[in-house]
Structure 1
Amino acid sequence: MSAVVNSSTVPVSTASRRWAATGVASAIGSLASVFLSMSLSPEYIPGSVITSEAIDAGLMAERPSMIAFHIVTLASAGLLMVFAAGLHRRLTSALPSASLVPLIAFSGLLLVVAAQMLGTGLDTEFLFGIGDSAINLPSDIGFYSHWIATIPWLWFGGGVAALAVGAARRHGGVSGWLGITSTILGALTLLLAISPLQYMAAGPGALWLLIAAIGFSAESRTQPGSRC
């Protein structure tokens, strides 16, 4: 009697290029989101006074960038959800069943997703309400300018996720170089996130995501039977 091979029984430890590739795209999107939000912020000149009218006029001239910021940031959030799910599966398959590392990494990235979603939450209100005092008070535009230049940059959860991936190295869950890199960038991201300069955590956080996603993507190329 011949044995029947079930094609669905591919070991879950095999990494997928596709879930890892979403992390690369999300990292690029996160960096683009930071750049776009910075371009929408007023220029700070020592000794000058920035008025609500100046911010309002600046945003009115940057509507295409506002739309791009909204789309890129939310696209990054959606892609990061897929990467988070793939990372959870990847770590679960490689670590002891009682390990909390996969769930911690997954939860940390979901916090970044939430920050990016909240960071775009006021876009519609101001995209269509710029210059209309019936919708927005002059003082509101200054708040919005600070909002988009801070909230989407909050990568505290990304730092936690990176440290979790670094911890997986002790059990052989990830390669040595990726574990060390994750620990270093995760610690830097977390230190910035818990400091008053918390928005700066987006830099090393997104860099870690890019490196980790490329690492997992390259790893999958050496493993047969890769699936989504």
Structure 2
Amino acid sequence: MTTIASSTAHEELDARRRRVSPTSSRGWAFVGAAAGIAGVVGIQASLQIDAVYNKKYAGDADLILDRLGDYVPQLLILHFAMTGAAIMLLIFAAGLRRRLRAQAPAGSLLPDVAAGGLLLTAVATLMGAGFTTEIVFALTDDTVAIDPEFAAVVGHWIGTIPWLWVGAGLTGVAVAVGALRHAAAPRWLGWVGAVFGGITLLVGLSPLQYMAGFTGPVLILVLGLGFAFGDRRQRAGS
């Protein structure tokens, strides 16, 4: 009986050691950093497209349509950046969930909440690029007819939907709780998640929800880099 108990204790100790050791693969974290960069690029492209926000064109659908024709490069950048971010956010979500589950308390909801925030953001970024191809083809092909009113809708769409990064704020807060309360991630990343995630979540919940597009991508970029490099230093020092 003593031998069996000793063997069981050793097995539990080995399992615990494996549980608290970060996984060796960091590809998902680099993908997360790339998703943050793509988000920054997409937001900057959206900022430049002023067809519906410039007072010279506001309220005149025909002028808005003509103005959008000047922004085909920005529309294409927005398309590639946001659709790319959507795909990379899914990969980052899967990796982050696995990473937090390795050290969070058994049965904790934090890994699922953190991943869910990224999934929500991925949907918003994908939807934000939903009209870009149709409007670009219409603007570059004279044989394609387009309603000016639709162009006005597109102008508002690309100026709002890609900015809905509130889910990233939820992810940041979940990482903060995991890091600061349960040591499930480097402590400095917990403070980054608390500050940037908290700001992103608060503005995303407020009538200023589009402001989340400024802080959300930066948060994801820092989290990606933090898990890519911070865990290595933490593991080397342990």
Letter of the 1:184 counterpart: V
Q: Answer yes or no: is the 8 Å Cα contact 1:129–1:136 preserved in 2.
A: yes
* TM-score (normalised: structure 2): 0.83
Whole-angstrom CA distance in 1 between matches of 2:22 and 2:53 = 50
Cα drift, residue 35 of structure 1: 0.7
Q: Answer yes or no: is the 8 Å Cα contact 1:20–1:214 preserved in 2.
A: yes
Q: For residues 49 and 55 of structure 1, do their structure 2 counterparts lie closer, same or farther at Cα, with a shift above 3 Å needed?
A: closer
Match of 2:30 in 1: 21
Cα drift, residue 162 of structure 1: 0.6
Match of 2:153 in 1: 143
Question: Between the two proteins, what is the percent identity of the paired residues?
Answer: 35
Cα drift, residue 54 of structure 1: 2.1
Match of 2:15 in 1: none
Match of 1:157 in 2: 167
1:174 aligns with 2:193: no
User: Could you tell me which of 178, 200, 209 is aligned with 1:189?
Assistant: 200
Letter of the 1:198 counterpart: Q
Bigger relative contact order, structure 1 or 2, given CA contacts below 8 A and separation 6+? 1
Give the count of matched residue pairs.
217
Q: For residues 13 and 49 of structure 1, do their structure 2 counterparts lie closer, same or farther at Cα, with a shift above 3 Å needed?
A: closer
Q: For residues 145 and 15 of structure 1, do their structure 2 counterparts lie closer, same or farther at Cα, with a shift above 3 Å needed?
A: farther
User: Could you tell me which of 74, 77, 86 is aligned with 1:77?
Assistant: 86
Match of 2:227 in 1: 216
User: Could you tell me which of 67, 86, 92 is aligned with 2:95?
Assistant: 86
More deviation in 121-130 or 29-38?
121-130
Whole-angstrom CA distance in 1 between matches of 2:57 and 2:84 = 36
Match of 1:101 in 2: 110
Cα drift, residue 136 of structure 1: 2.9
Instruction: Specify which structure has the higher proportion of helix.
Output: 2
Q: Equivalent residue of 2:185, what SS?
A: coil
Letter of the 2:122 counterpart: V
Q: Equivalent residue of 1:174, what SS?
A: coil
More deviation in 97-106 or 122-131?
122-131
Q: For residues 127 and 40 of structure 1, do their structure 2 counterparts lie closer, same or farther at Cα, with a shift above 3 Å needed?
A: same
* TM-score (normalised: structure 1): 0.86
Whole-angstrom CA distance in 1 between matches of 2:70 and 2:55 = 23
